[in-house]
């Protein structure tokens, strides 16, 4: 009996070693591609291209869709910031998704909104009834009031009905864009007519200071729960998504900030309102349609940091968010299962989706079971400490190396944290993330896996926003 | 049990080796991050000091007083500063800067780097060369056929921004072919170059390539080139619907009633085309 147990522990540990070797090995490939792409982007002389896009009458217009639910504290600043973006043609569409606070009243007072007779397009489908439509005198701001069905995607679909420009950009009301963000994100659309969607790097806004709608100072946040997310976002967005995009296998463009060719989004029926991962679902649907119809297409990603968004600042809120992400991923995988390992869908079908199934979705199961078996086996003497060390190296060691490499890429390319102290904190956080947070995170993800596998009802939850740190508004004039 | 474990394959010293490897790699990565930050901060401070020292000399260059002698490092800093400033100033100041840069052989350095095997080097040289691009339009034209797509697009943007009308035909011809430039970038560059007459378009309004011809006719309309009327009207007789539609659009934009007979005589082959022609006729008749 003991011999069987020893054999089982031994082989489970080896499976764990192989599993994590493939996982981290693949991620290191993605990281390397991401690093090369980031380096290319940073060094490429883009200032002229951006100013040419800004100055040209042929630049495609952008409809910016901002779904807003009870955002009275920040909605006016958000719209002002969007109006100040450097881009020639923008149409802002705020969808007031059944707010019970003064979100609409604040918009009406500050922007002189008047009732509008504007007709909305028939597609895409949405559930919540449109109450009325308002527009600013200059016509660049439209506010649509609708009944809420507690789904962000439903609000975005209403916005899509009002979008009339070639490109649609979806942004959260609590996200803040860099001044040139739209120029950066429009550049791939201009340069390549086959580009269907462009994602941008998103960074946690916690800890940054904002003045007149622009980020003025970037510091590491005070709370560890926020700091850990800074490292995660660096690894996932800056390096991960840039790398996946360069491999032609990008699967997710975050709902917090992404731009899409309007016609392409309408062709797939807008956002799937039943999905918890509607952002990833949209990208996968666009890819699927283009591949099915054998049309040339490209999903691009801009490595330049362009969007700052507030991330959860409590473990409770973070746990809700991560459970939802995990559950959403599970639902997406179930929905698009025919694409998995299907050569028709290229890198997305043959590499990205299998990677997300095996390592991102089922990862927590391997993590929890494997870690328990390996640790218990080493303590009880069923496996040698050497074997345990090997398992530890390929799981924790390689992950730590990936995280540190991501920090190095950020420091080389953008170095947005101005103080050396912040850089040191960032390095320390990579250790903290892996040593403590990783286990907690795995547990939350496991809960999400359970909810997806057993088809539990979706849970959105509410994140309390602290708002951006505002610098003094009165800037002395010279 | 011990026998069983010992029977399984192990590598002596593996645990320590792995721990040491992980610690070393992580330590090196962390150290590199810190060293990168420190070195960059120092280098930037030095460059900033140098730039602050030479910045007043820009005013001397504007005034034509260029008889100063600088140490090599400061001379390089001034050249970089002048090249950057040349894209931000206009008129005589720009001329003064570009003349000075030419005297400093800056253009030779750029042209040399534009032949680099590395796309990034070529692109950076191209951007630096933009303020003095008028000195060597041939070099920009060569870059329109560069082997790297992004360099080609950048060359088109430089051509447009520099307002080199002589490059308009080359730009349009590069909208097609194996080393083509995206149509929108070509159109944007031509609009930016702002040719004032159809003769700047060369033979492209009658080009055998349908897309090139359609684009030339379309842009002539967008630029409101009145002298392009006959070339545009000739497009109405093209066997290609793309060209005919481009001609109709341009005639609408020009808004000249003189084009009415040509529009009325044109043969339309689809309901879509016919409706466009009808709308254009209605508008030209003052509808």
* Interface probe with A: pick from B7, B184, B186, B222, most Cβ of A within 10 Å: B184
Residues in chain A with CB shorter than 8 Å from the CB of B86 are: none
Per-residue pLDDT of chain A (478 residues), as tens digits, is 788 888 889 889 999 999 999 999 999 999 999 999 999 888 998 877 888 888 888 899 999 999 999 888 888 888 988 998 999 999 999 999 999 989 999 999 999 999 998 889 988 989 889 999 999 998 899 999 999 888 889 999 999 999 999 999 999 888 889 889 999 999 999 989 899 999 999 999 888 888 777 788 889 999 999 999 999 999 988 899 999 999 999 999 988 899 999 999 999 999 998 888 888 999 999 999 999 999 999 999 998 877 998 889 899 999 999 999 999 999 999 999 999 999 999 999 999 999 999 999 999 999 888 888 999 999 998 888 888 888 888 888 899 999 999 999 999 999 988 889 999 999 999 988 887 788 899 999 999 999 999 887 765 555 566 666 666 544 433 3
Q: Could B182 and A415 be called an inter-chain contact, meaning their C-beta atoms sit closer than 8 Å? A: no
Q: Do B29 and A404 touch (CB under 8 A)?
A: yes
Record: contact A427-B30, CB cut-off 8 A = yes
Residue numbers of A between 399 and 458 with CB closer than 8 Å to B: 400-401, 404-405, 407-408, 411-412, 415, 420, 423-424, 427
Is A384 in Cβ contact with B10 (below 8 Å)? yes
Contact B14 A389 (CB under 8 A): yes
Contacts of B123 in chain A (CB under 8 A): 44-45
Residues of B in contact with A428 (CB under 8 A): none
User: A44 and B150 in contact by Cβ < 8 A?
Assistant: yes
Interchain contact, B153 vs A191, CB within 8 Å: yes
Interface contact flag, A401 B153, Cβ < 8 Å: no
What's the distance, Cα to Cα, between the start and end of chain B in Å? 98
- Tell which A residues from 264 to 303 touch B, by Cβ distance under 8 Å: none
Contacts of B159 in chain A (CB under 8 A): none
Q: Which of A44, A58, A404 sits opposite B191 (nearest CB)?
A: A58
Give the closest of B5, B33, B185 to A408, CB-based. Answer: B33
What pLDDT score does B19 carry?
A: 84
The share of chain A scoring above pLDDT 70, in percent, equals 96
| SS3 per residue for chain A | CHHHHHHHHHHHHHHHHHHHHHHHHHHHHHHHHHHHHHHHHHHCCCHHHHHHHHHCCCCCCEEEEEEECCCCCCHHHHHHHHHCCCCCCEEEEEEEECCCCCHHHHHHHHHCCEECCCCCCCCCCCCCCEEEEEECCCCCEEEEEECCCCCHHHHHHHHHHHCCCCEEEEECCCEEECCCHHHHHHHHHHHCCCEEEEEEEEEECCCEEEECCEEEEECCCCCHHHHHHHHHHHHHHHHHHHHHHHCCCCCCCCCCEEEEEHHHHHHCCCCCCCCCCHHHHHHHHHHHHHHHCCCCCEEEEEEEEEEEECCCCCHHHHHHHHHHHHHHHHHHHHHCHHHCCCHHHHHHHHHHHHHHHHHHHCHHHHHHHHHHHHHHHHHHCCCCHHHHHHHHHHHHHHHHHHHHHHHHHHHHHCCCCCCHHHHHHHHHHHHHHHHHHHHHHHHHHHHHHHHHHCCCCCCCCCCCCCCCEECCCCCCCC
Asked if A10 is an interface residue toward chain B (Cβ–Cβ < 8 A), one would say yes
Please answer yes or no on whether A393 and B192 come within 8 Å at the CB atom: no
Low-confidence spans in chain B with pLDDT less than 70: 1-12, 287
Residue A115 backbone dihedrals phi, psi, to 5 degrees: -60, 145
List of chain A residues whose C-beta atoms are within 8 Å of the C-beta of residue B36:
408, 411-412
Q: Can you tell me the distance from the alpha carbon of B75 to that of B92, in angstroms, rounded to the nearest whole number?
A: 22
Closest residue in B to A388 (Cα) is: B15
Contact check, Cβ <8 Å, A381/B1: yes
Q: Could you give the ipTM of this predicted complex? A: 0.83
From the list B4, B29, B185, the residue facing A401 with the nearest CB is: B29
- Which chain A positions have a beta carbon within 8 Å of B38's beta carbon? 420
Residues of chain B found within 8 Å of residue A420, distances taken between Cβ atoms: 34, 37-38, 41
Nearest to B37 among A40, A191, A415 (CB): A415
Q: What pLDDT does residue A77 have? A: 84
C-beta atoms of B182 and A390 within 8 A: no
**Residues of A whose CB is below 8 A from B150:** 44, 191
Asked whether the beta carbons of residue A190 and residue B26 sit closer than 8 angstroms, the reply is no
Residue B267 to residues A248, B215, B239, B261, Cα–Cα distance (Å) = 46, 21, 10, 12
Chain A environment of B87 (Cβ under 8 Å): 48
Cα angle, residue A48 at apex, residues A44 and A52 outer, rounded to 5°? 135
Interface test with B, best of A56, A234, A435 (most B CBs within 10 A): A56
Could you tell me which residues are beta bridge partners of residue A200?
A: A302
Which of A4, A24, A28, A48 has the highest number of chain B CBs within 10 A, making it the mutation to test binding with B? Answer: A48
Phi-psi region of B202 (alpha: psi -120 to 50; beta: other; left: phi over 0): left
Please tell me the predicted confidence (pLDDT) of residue A462. Answer: 59
Are A52 and B184 an interchain contact pair (Cβ–Cβ within 8 Å)?
A: no
pLDDT, residue A472, reads: 54
Buried b / exposed e over B245-273, threshold 16 CB at 10 Å, is bbbbbbbbbbeeeebeebbeebebeeeeb
Give the nearest partner residue to A423 out of B10, B33, B161, using CB atoms. B33
Question: How many Cβ contacts (< 8 angstroms) between chains A and B?
Answer: 128
Residues of B in contact with A6 (CB under 8 A): 1, 4-5
């Amino acid at each position: 009996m003991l011999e069987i147990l020893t054999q089982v522990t031994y082989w489970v540990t080896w499976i764990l070693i192989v599993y994590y070797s493939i996982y981290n090995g693949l991620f290191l490939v993605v990281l390397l591609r991401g690093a090369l792409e980031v380096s290319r982007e940073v060094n490429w002389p883009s200032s002229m291209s951006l100013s040419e896009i800004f100055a040209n009458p042929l630049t495609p217009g952008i409809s910016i869709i901002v779904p807003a639910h009870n955002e009275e504290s920040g909605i006016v600043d958000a719209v002002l910031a969007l109006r100040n973006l450097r881009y020639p043609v923008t149409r802002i569409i705020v969808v007031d998704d059944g707010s019970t606070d003064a979100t609409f009243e604040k918009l009406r007072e500050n922007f002189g909104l008047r009732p509008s007779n504007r007709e909305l397009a028939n597609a895409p489908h949405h559930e919540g009834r449109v109450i009325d439509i308002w527009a600013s005198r200059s016509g660049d701001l439209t506010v649509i009031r609708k009944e809420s069905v507690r789904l962000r995607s439903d609000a975005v679909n209403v916005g899509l009905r009002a979008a009339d420009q070639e490109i649609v950009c979806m942004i959260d009301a609590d996200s803040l864009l860099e001044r040139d963000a739209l120029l950066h994100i429009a550049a791939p659309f201009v340069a390549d007519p086959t580009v269907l969607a462009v994602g941008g790097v998103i960074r946690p806004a916690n800890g940054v200071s904002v003045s007149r709608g622009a980020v003025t100072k970037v510091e590491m946040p005070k709370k560890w729960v926020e700091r850990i997310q800074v490292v995660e976002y660096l690894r996932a967005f800056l390096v991960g998504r840039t790398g996946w995009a360069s491999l032609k296998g990008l699967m997710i463009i975050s709902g917090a900030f992404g731009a899409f060719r309007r016609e392409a989004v309408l062709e797939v029926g807008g956002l799937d309102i039943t999905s918890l991962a509607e952002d990833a679902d949209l990208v996968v649907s666009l890819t699927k349609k283009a591949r099915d119809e054998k049309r040339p297409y490209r999903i691009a990603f801009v490595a330049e940091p362009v969007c700052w968004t507030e991330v959860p600042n409590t473990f409770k809120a973070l746990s809700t968010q991560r459970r939802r992400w995990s559950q959403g991923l599970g639902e997406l995988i179930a929905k698009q299962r025919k694409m998995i390992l299907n050569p028709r869908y290229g890198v997305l079908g043959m590499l990205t989706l299998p990677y997300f199934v095996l390592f991102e979705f089922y990862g927590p199961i391997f993590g929890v079971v494997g870690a328990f078996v390996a640790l218990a086996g080493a303590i009880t003497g069923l496996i040698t400490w050497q074997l345990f060390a090997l398992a530890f190296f390929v799981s924790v060691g390689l992950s730590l190396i990936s995280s540190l490499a991501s920090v190095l890429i950020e420091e080389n390319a953008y170095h947005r944290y101005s103080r050396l102290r912040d850089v040191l904190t960032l390095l320390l956080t990579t250790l903290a993330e892996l040593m403590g947070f990783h286990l907690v995170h795995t547990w939350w993800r496991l809960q999400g896996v359970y909810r997806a596998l057993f088809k539990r009802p979706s849970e959105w939850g509410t994140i309390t926003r602290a708002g951006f740190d505002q610098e003094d508004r009165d800037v002395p004039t010279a | 049990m011990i026998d069983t474990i010992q029977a399984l394959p192990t590598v002596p010293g593996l645990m320590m080796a792995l721990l040491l490897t992980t610690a070393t790699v992580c330590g090196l990565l962390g150290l590199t991050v810190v060293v990168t930050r420190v070195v960059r901060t120092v280098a930037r401070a030095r460059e900033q000091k140098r730039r602050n020292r030479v910045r007043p000399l820009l005013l001397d260059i504007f005034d034509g007083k260029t008889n100063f002698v600088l140490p090599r490092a400061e001379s390089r800093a001034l050249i970089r500063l002048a090249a950057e400033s040349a894209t931000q100033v206009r008129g005589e100041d720009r001329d003064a800067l570009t003349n000075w840069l030419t005297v400093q052989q800056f253009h030779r350095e750029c042209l040399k780097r534009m032949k680099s095997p590395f796309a990034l080097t070529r692109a950076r040289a191209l951007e630096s060369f933009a303020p003095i691009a008028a000195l060597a339009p041939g070099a920009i034209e060569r870059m329109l056929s560069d082997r790297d797509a992004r360099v080609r697009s950048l060359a088109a943007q430089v051509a447009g921004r520099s307002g080199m009308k002589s490059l308009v035909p080359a730009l349009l011809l590069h909208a097609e072919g194996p080393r083509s430039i995206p149509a929108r970038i070509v159109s944007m560059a031509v609009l930016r170059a702002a040719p004032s007459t159809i003769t700047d378009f060369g033979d492209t309004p009658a080009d055998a390539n349908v897309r090139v011809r359609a684009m030339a006719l379309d842009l002539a309309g967008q630029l409101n080139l009145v002298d392009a009327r006959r070339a545009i009207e000739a497009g109405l007789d093209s066997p290609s619907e793309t060209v005919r539609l481009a001609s109709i659009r341009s005639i609408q934009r020009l808004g000249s009633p003189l084009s009415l007979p040509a529009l009325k005589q044109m043969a339309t082959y689809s309901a879509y085309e016919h409706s466009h022609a009808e709308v254009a006729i209605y508008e030209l008749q003052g509808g």
